Amino acid sequence: MKVTALAGGIGAGKFLRGLVRAVPAEDVTVIVNVGDDILMHGLHVSPDLDSVTYWLGDAFDRERGWGRRGETFRATQELAAFDPEAAWFGLGDLDLATHLFRSRELASGATLSQVTERVCARFGVGARVLPATDDLLTTRIDAVDPASGLALDLHFQEYWVRRRATDDVKGVRFAGADAAGPAPGVLEAIREADVVVICPSNPVVSVGPVLAVPGVRAAVAARSAVVTGVSPIVGGAPLAGMADKLMPAVGMEVSAAGVARAYADLLGSWVIDEADRGLARSIGDELGVPVVVTDTVMRDDVVAEALARATLSAGN
């Protein structure tokens, strides 16, 4: 069974580990958000691509919740000695190698897709991992500084990591999206999949930028009969991240129903957590699709595998 997954960060990483236990990794294509990508001190950092790669390559630090296992932060600590403000984005020493390699390859003319393939090879990732686009697409947050009342136009990472999501969000934009094109293989992977899965990722800033690449949303909608998704919202709150702050800003209700509604044109089925069992019927009635209720809190790979199997059953 060929599976294509749309993915963001940590929720997607956990789900994908289950997915490659449920089906052979070589049958899985993951289309990953690049809206979080940022040029940091001259290096091209791709947080979601790396997160997915580290999870699938079993290099992820499950305890910390981001970055690589066995990581150290000597370069970043030393950078803080130059200027504490410069070190707001914590680049691990091992993680830095990924960014050095990526920046080097991009400067030599490689595309982000080509670099991603090489990074995946280094970590023995069996699944095919594709950036949603090889073009520049950047998630910008229109916000207001609550202290000063000043309007801010922030890179997503500035909003989330540097300023710790303390600003009032007024809107979310995907700069460059109009001029971007899907990376090679993206549309084909959606067209040829037996099941298309929308991972339990933030619908605004993880899945949103993927769907904002011209052609992608239409390609997914054309396959809606086999499109399924897992709600990242459980009991009215995200399991990780800041979806609860961003969803209201774009008019989404922070609930398993709110996320489903954002994908209304795309879904053939929808998977929600036991905690939201009470919403199953109303979501199903509103969207006209079957709603599957199961355990979506992926404490380990075994739970993630069961969730992946339930999701694939829903989609197929």
The residues of the shown chain that bind a copy of itself, judged by CB under 8 A, are 39, 41-44, 72, 74-79, 81-83, 86, 91, 93-94, 96-98, 100-101, 103-104, 107, 118-119, 122
- Measured from the CB atom, the residue of 42 and 109 that comes closer to a copy of itself is 42
In the complex, minimum distance from the CB of residue 208 to a copy of itself, in angstroms, rounded to a whole number:
28
- Measured from the CB atom, the residue of 72 and 282 that comes closer to a copy of itself is 72
- Measured from the CB atom, the residue of 98 and 139 that comes closer to a copy of itself is 98
- Measured from the CB atom, the residue of 94 and 306 that comes closer to a copy of itself is 94
8 A C-beta contact, residue 253 and residue 233: no
8 A C-beta contact, residue 27 and residue 3: yes
Give the other-Cβ count within 10 Å of 130's Cβ: 26
In the complex, minimum distance from the CB of residue 253 to a copy of itself, in angstroms, rounded to a whole number:
40
Query: Using CA atoms, how far apart are residues 49 and 129, in angstroms rounded to an integer?
Result: 8
Q: Residue 316 half-sphere exposure, CB side, CA atoms within 13 Å?
A: 13
Query: Across the strands, what pairs with 168?
Result: 144
Query: Using CA atoms, how far apart are residues 167 and 154, in angstroms rounded to an integer?
Result: 10
Token pair in block for residue 177: 């999206």
- Measured from the CB atom, the residue of 33 and 98 that comes closer to a copy of itself is 98
Query: Using CA atoms, how far apart are residues 233 and 55, in angstroms rounded to an integer?
Result: 21
